[in-house]
Structure 1
Amino acid sequence: MSGTSEGPAPAADLGRSAITESDGSLPPRATDPPGTSYPGTGATRTGTGAAHTGADRSAGAAGAGVAAYRSAFATAPLAMAVVDAEGLVVSANGSLGTLLGAGPDTLAGCAAADLVDLASDAGTWHAYREVLRGRQPRLRCTRRLKRADGHSLWAQVTVEPLDDSGDGGGLLLSVTDVSARRELQARLRHLQMHDPVTRLPNRALFFERLTGALEAESYEHGGTGRIGLCYLDLDGFKAVNDTHGHRVGDRLLAAVAERLTRCAEEAAGPRSGVPLVARLGGDEFALLVEDSTGTDQLADLAQAVLTALQPPFELLDRRLSVTASVGVVERHTADTTPTALMQAADTTLYWAKADGRARWTLFDPERNATRMTRQALAATLRPAIERGEFALEYQPLVGMEDGRVRGVEALIRWNHPQFGLLAPNRFIALAEEDGSIVPLGRWILRTACTQARRWQQAHPDEPPIFVSVNVAVRQVWDSDLVADVARTLEETGLAPHLLQLELTESAVMGSAGRPLEVLRALSDMGVHIAIDDFGTGYSNLAYLSRLPVSVLKLDGAFVRGFQYDAVTPGADDVKGASSLANPADEVIVEAMVQLAHRLGLSVTAECVETSDQATRLRRIGCDTGQGWLYSRPVAPDRISALLGPAGPGGAGIQAVGKP
């Protein structure tokens, strides 16, 4: 062929240009006439249209290709085997034999599924059968294989057709040793799932185990279907860190972990096994008992933990002692979730702390229900004020001499949409804790003063009665109580002397600074200050001379201790009254009344339930009485009926006031 072109090449020549022989010659073509010689090939085209030498070369090349493929298969570093449509090994290479610890020739005829453990679980076995039938293009899985010498390895197994036709012409099985990768992954997972200080399982691994234990159907495997948890917190651990440093604190945590681990090993049972010990963070640990046998088992474990922590710890030339509080929960797995179990454990741990520490406490559903109710009330307190769910009832304070109503004490009630009518002992402490007592106190003050003014206007011919309102000490600190009272009196038109503010003895005891200034400012305004529940607190009489107090309200415990003859039916507070009779109480009350009068104070006796009590209190010199003898707390309209003249000895008010 010349180096110049005289015209377009024939179509056949265009195709030949892509298959030029390596020596530069061209293979024979069908259009060449017989007798054509082909330089470099030694071939001559015959009349039959065949180039014999070229055909022989093609057959030789094919044979050489097959040999090359076989050589590559035999010497490939990837462990492989050819598997027929029945799942039997046709041939295996040396790498597979080395991997499995067997000669490659001995693997021929073996079931491939047995060699690489494809039948150990139903899912993998089904997928493998689908690949054999040509219904699935590939199977890839990880298997733990056992070699002939007894050693094990992790392998990634792949099974796929030898060609893309999927007609069942055979499969290629390839196996890759991934033991090193698995070991690295296991090491990384261990670091991820374990606490570096104590080397215990951390929070992540604990919750993984807990979730698995709750999801497992242990009944089917002979388990108890129960689970237990000891959730503990070291008492005063922060002081160790603050005093000795975090290095010592970490050593202490590690030493505690060792003792807890020993406790768990000693507590192992035939069913539950060794409890899981985990560090959940900070100084919090957990011991998880799967398939627990009941609360007794968990109680024993908790007590063993407390006992194990009693001996002092010798750490870095220091001798440290530590105690723990433990919350114990045990229940059916079907009845709980990880979140519910941990909430119960956390609540119970809080109880153990609140009950004095260095102890274990068992979860109590009733106590928890009370706590949940308390939380529900706390969450709805402030909105309830805005929704107008509160109301006031009033209990008369009656003059002991003439039986006339001198004043009333305002007592708040909560008309809760879920829990019904609630007395103040159910929510006042909550209001003081979260500060909602301030807006609630303002509402009580305004409502009571407004009502007192209405009574005054409705009974112009009767001496006006005063209204007594309880004040929490937080109202004194967190609000401008003086300004609130002044504004309320101005807006309602109630005279200051018709308002009495009650504070408990413990609240005013030792008052100094702001509280004392507030009390004096209120007294200077003309408002009366009363000490409620007097005699049950500090009972220090010295402070009476320096506080602007005008009234003492004797605690009802003194009145109930009087010797009296009868018990008023329905008076729950007087149950077993005759057995409570104490002659000394009457002497004490008499002394307090005399002392109060010498200081210019009036005295109100609470919890007056019988006429005998009223008679004795009147003889002692008590000024006013309050109790069911006269009236229970009632709605405002019932008070109006008591403002008229009373019968002898207060009988009229008793008849009207008692339900």
Structure 2
Amino acid sequence: MSGTSQGPAPAVELVQPAITERHVNGTVQSSTPTSAPTPTSTPESPVASDAPAVPAAFSAAPLAMAVVDRDGLVVTANEAMGALLGTATEATETTETLTGRVAAELVDLASDPRTWHAYREVLRGRQARLRCTRRLKRPDGTSLWVQVSVAPLPEEERAILLSVADISANRQLQARLRHLQMHDPVTRLPNRAFFFERLTAALERDAYDVYDAVGTGRIGLVYLDLDGFKAVNDTLGHRVGDRLLAAVAERLTRCAEAAGHTRVCTMPGTSAGAPLVARLGGDEFALLVEDSTGTEQLADLAESVLKALQAPFDLSGQRLSVSASIGVVERQSASATATGLMQAADTTLYWAKADGKARWTLFDPERNAHRMTRQALSSTLRAAVGRGEFVLEYQPLVGMADGEVRGVEALVRWHHPQFGVLTPNRFISLAEEDGSIVQLGRWVLATACRQARRWQLDHPDRAPIFVSVNVAVRQVWDSDLVADVAEILAETGLAPHLLQLELTESALMGSAGRPLQALKALSDMGVRIAIDDFGTGYSNLAYLSRLPVSVLKLDGAFVRGFQFETPQEDRDEDDGQPNPADEIIVEALVQLAHRLGLTVTAEGVETDAQASRLRRLGCDTGQGWLYSRAVSPQRIAEILGAAACPRA
């Protein structure tokens, strides 16, 4: 919405006509619709000699009034009517000037069909009253808002009374109040209410194909907030913060004006003006681009905003530098809603902040779909445990020396009814965020221990295998892990040394207080503690002598570094290059672990060449696709029945 705001018209009796604008002096140029023909007359039209009598106070009344016959012609008018319409220069000329004129033309009652029909119904005596609001133009070019009332003249069937009240002052007051209501007092920019009104109107316009011939049917939004603005308020006070917001508003307005000028120059004849700049609240601003030409236009605008805000602000001796994070959305108007646009812009703004701030980010449907999927998973994760949607698969841990299965790692899978089978990397981080990892972790622990005990009972002739279960640090903090493990081992009958708990290196290296006490208690119980993905985190070797760790699991990245057994000259160019340092590191880690009384498991073993080198380096066990992928409990039972682990 631009220009002077036009508020709602006063109350209307029976009919509320549209507000239009008319000239009232001399001959009137009318845009009367074909459905509402305008009666014609001239000032010289004869007036009936038996004119209806009017009260003596009629002429001196301050309210502009005229008596109109049933044909719609002015019989007589008072001085106030002539002064209001600007047709009389002297009071004595009032009646002569207006008598015989078409009343509907004087106050623009024939410009729309609804009002014209209602007016004729009053003339014919079929309707009691008409009241409407009109904007009229005087001969001198000034305009005024009036409220027009038409009603039968009391005790006179031959005529009706037309009264016109000047409500311009009231309309101006309404306009000023609306301006205050729709603008931000700090920056003087349109506020959130104004912005959404304009956005909604633009979308509705495009939805009904009412936009002009040069319209694109697209809409764009640049949504930003200032990085670190809260620190300005907290350290320098809200007065300085308000000055900063006002200065930012000025620069954004200049960016919008420059963008509008650029578009006019590059697209002559376009009807689109400068983008609307609004303050949505706090340190949030938005630039609305109607009839946008594509993402390139929005990207250029966002880039100009970033550059404009880079220069320091000098605020009464305070020199401040700020940056902004910006979300950019551009799409077809027909498929957009105000709520959907703002949600997309807010999401994209969050991406810009997460990616490092002081940048703009364009809305990415695929990234948003991933976010929506995460949200859907998070909202159903807790209930999924109770519904039995999780299952465990097991990957063998094989002795490097003899190829015999020594243990298995339990890996949880989510059989989601909508998204199919999901691996842990899709939902474990969500479970840690919302705390459902405690409930899920206990289920995994109990299920894995129960299954390990079942294998032990089903294969009494072979040495029992251990089961390794991953544990999140939040499980240690938010639950009594020691009590849970003790209870589960007692319920399932599994010996403590047949349970191995895996924690990531980064989690273990930062362990102190309660987590460290819990790990020591578990170790004293006989449970094995393993460091998962060793070598990719802090790698603080001093911790190895203090933590109750019994197993190091080397990250698969080291194993991939020496995947070739054939000489360099016999390899193809596409085979890649081995990293000799990886083998040296693995050898050193294995020797260090053995000196500390720890065993070493290599992850990601995929080839015989890798297994052979790991065996020569003294690695104790291996895990990877060379031996088996994660499989069902039934398949593990079949493997246990064999002499050695079959190759995948």
Deviation (angstroms), 1:120: 3.3
Correspondence 1:433-582 to 2 at 5 A: 433-564=433-564, 578-582=575-579
Q: Does 1:202 align with 2:187?
A: no
Gap change, CA 1:383 and 1:560, over 3 Å in 2 = same
Contact 2:205/2:211, CA 8 A, preserved across alignment: no
Contact 1:117/1:143, CA 8 A, preserved across alignment: yes
Contact 2:302/2:328, CA 8 A, preserved across alignment: yes
Correspondence 1:245-256 to 2 at 5 A: 245-256=237-248
Give the aligned residue type for 2:641: G
The structure with higher relative contact order (CA 8 Å, sep 6+) is 2
Q: Does 1:73 align with 2:55?
A: no
Give the aligned residue type for 1:412: V
Give the aligned residue type for 1:634: V
* 1:625 aligned residue (622, 630, 645): 622
Structure 2 partner of 1:3: none
Contact 1:510/1:543, CA 8 A, preserved across alignment: no
Structure 1 partner of 2:98: 107
Q: Does 1:242 align with 2:244?
A: no
**Partner Cα separation in structure 2 for residue 391 and residue 577 of structure 1:** 39
Deviation (angstroms), 1:150: 1.5
Give the aligned residue type for 2:592: L
SS at 2:310 equivalent: coil
Give the aligned residue type for 1:179: S
Structure 1 partner of 2:305: 305
Structure 2 partner of 1:131: 122
Structure 2 partner of 1:180: 169
**Partner Cα separation in structure 2 for residue 81 and residue 137 of structure 1:** 17
**Partner Cα separation in structure 2 for residue 274 and residue 164 of structure 1:** 59
Q: Does 1:362 align with 2:362?
A: yes
Give the aligned residue type for 2:481: L
Deviation (angstroms), 1:582: 1.8
Deviation (angstroms), 1:258: 1.0
Gap change, CA 1:248 and 1:643, over 3 Å in 2 = same
**Partner Cα separation in structure 1 for residue 155 and residue 434 of structure 2:** 73
**Partner Cα separation in structure 2 for residue 542 and residue 190 of structure 1:** 68
Structure 2 partner of 1:346: 346
Give the aligned residue type for 2:138: R
Deviation (angstroms), 1:251: 1.0
SS at 1:149 equivalent: coil
Encode CA deviations 1:542-587: one digit per residue, 9 max, x unaligned. Answer: 2111111111111111111114259xxxxxxxx9982152222112
**Partner Cα separation in structure 2 for residue 414 and residue 183 of structure 1:** 65
Structure 1 partner of 2:202: 213
**Partner Cα separation in structure 2 for residue 137 and residue 576 of structure 1:** 97
Deviation (angstroms), 1:476: 1.4
Correspondence 1:135-284 to 2 at 5 A: 135-162=126-153, 169-217=158-206, 220-222=211-213, 223-268=215-260, 269-270=263-264, 271=270, 272-284=272-284
Give the aligned residue type for 2:132: C
**Partner Cα separation in structure 1 for residue 136 and residue 296 of structure 2:** 44
RMSD: 1.9
Give the aligned residue type for 1:233: D
Deviation (angstroms), 1:594: 0.9
> Structure 1 length normalisation: TM-score?
0.85
Encode CA deviations 1:612-658: one digit per residue, 9 max, x unaligned. Answer: 111111111110000111111011111001113435xxxx521xxx3
Give the aligned residue type for 2:321: S
**Partner Cα separation in structure 2 for residue 562 and residue 461 of structure 1:** 38
SS at 2:324 equivalent: strand
**Partner Cα separation in structure 2 for residue 221 and residue 137 of structure 1:** 41
Contact 1:563/1:583, CA 8 A, preserved across alignment: no
**Partner Cα separation in structure 1 for residue 594 and residue 117 of structure 2:** 98
SS at 1:309 equivalent: helix
Give the aligned residue type for 1:192: Q
Contact 1:253/1:283, CA 8 A, preserved across alignment: yes
**Partner Cα separation in structure 2 for residue 117 and residue 621 of structure 1:** 101
**Partner Cα separation in structure 1 for residue 59 and residue 344 of structure 2:** 64
Contact 2:563/2:607, CA 8 A, preserved across alignment: no
5+ residue gaps, structure 1, are 1-65, 567-574
Gap change, CA 1:129 and 1:562, over 3 Å in 2 = farther
Encode CA deviations 1:206-243: one digit per residue, 9 max, x unaligned. Answer: 11111111001355422111111001010001111111
Deviation (angstroms), 1:354: 0.5
Structure 2 partner of 1:609: 606
**Partner Cα separation in structure 1 for residue 481 and residue 591 of structure 2:** 32
Gap change, CA 1:342 and 1:479, over 3 Å in 2 = same
**Partner Cα separation in structure 2 for residue 590 and residue 396 of structure 1:** 23
Q: Does 1:96 align with 2:84?
A: no
Contact 1:230/1:288, CA 8 A, preserved across alignment: yes
Give the aligned residue type for 1:156: Q
Structure 2 partner of 1:37: none
Contact 1:437/1:472, CA 8 A, preserved across alignment: yes
5+ residue gaps, structure 2, are 1-51, 89-93, 265-269, 567-571
**Partner Cα separation in structure 2 for residue 344 and residue 163 of structure 1:** 63
**Partner Cα separation in structure 2 for residue 237 and residue 532 of structure 1:** 41
**Partner Cα separation in structure 2 for residue 342 and residue 311 of structure 1:** 28
Deviation (angstroms), 1:145: 1.0
**Partner Cα separation in structure 2 for residue 511 and residue 86 of structure 1:** 97
Deviation (angstroms), 1:471: 0.7
Deviation (angstroms), 1:337: 0.5
> Structure 2 length normalisation: TM-score?
0.86
Structure 2 partner of 1:324: 324
**Partner Cα separation in structure 1 for residue 322 and residue 72 of structure 2:** 65
Deviation (angstroms), 1:184: 1.1
Deviation (angstroms), 1:135: 3.8
Contact 1:560/1:577, CA 8 A, preserved across alignment: no
SS at 2:141 equivalent: coil
* 1:589 aligned residue (580, 586, 590): 586
Structure 1 partner of 2:646: 653
**Partner Cα separation in structure 1 for residue 390 and residue 143 of structure 2:** 74
Deviation (angstroms), 1:487: 1.2
Contact 1:252/1:315, CA 8 A, preserved across alignment: yes
Contact 1:400/1:625, CA 8 A, preserved across alignment: yes
* More off after superposition, 102-111 vs 537-546: 102-111
Contact 1:562/1:585, CA 8 A, preserved across alignment: yes
SS at 2:145 equivalent: strand
Structure 1 partner of 2:373: 373
Deviation (angstroms), 1:357: 0.4
Structure 1 partner of 2:110: 119
Correspondence 1:374-389 to 2 at 5 A: 374-389=374-389
Gap change, CA 1:505 and 1:415, over 3 Å in 2 = same
**Partner Cα separation in structure 2 for residue 580 and residue 507 of structure 1:** 32
Q: Does 1:291 align with 2:283?
A: no
**Partner Cα separation in structure 2 for residue 598 and residue 243 of structure 1:** 55
Gap change, CA 1:112 and 1:407, over 3 Å in 2 = same
Give the aligned residue type for 2:61: A
Deviation (angstroms), 1:250: 1.0
**Partner Cα separation in structure 1 for residue 351 and residue 114 of structure 2:** 49
Contact 2:312/2:321, CA 8 A, preserved across alignment: yes
Contact 1:394/1:634, CA 8 A, preserved across alignment: yes
Deviation (angstroms), 1:191: 1.3
